[in-house]
Structure 1
C-alpha cells in the first residue's frame, strides 16, 4: 500500500483512508477529508485558502 497526497490541500492520506473522486474526463482526485472534498466541489482553489499545505508552501517566505 502506498500513501496518497490530497489533490486539494496536499496533505498525506494513509492507506485505506480518504476518498477518491473521478471527474467526467477521467482524471482522479484524492481527498483526505470531507472538508477538502466539499471545498473542491464548491469551486474553491486550495492555493487561496490559508489552512492548506499548498498555500503554506507557496507563501513560505512572505
Structure 2
C-alpha cells in the first residue's frame, strides 16, 4: 500500500468530498468558495493533485 501524505489543503478538500459525496463539481466549487475562500482554479488544482496521488479518479458523466 502506498504511503499517502496529504497537505492541509488537500486534506480539507478530501474531507469535504467524502462528507458530501456524491457532489457535482459546480456545487463543490461554490462550497470551496464559501467555506475555504478558494477560487475555482484553486479547487481544480487541488483535485488534480489528489488525482495524481490516486486519492480520487476523475470521471466524466454524460
TM value normalised by structure 1: 0.23
- Bigger proportion of residues as helix: 2
Q: TM-score, normalising length from structure 2?
A: 0.23
Q: Specify the structure having the higher radius of gyration (Cα).
A: 1
Richer in strand (by share): 1
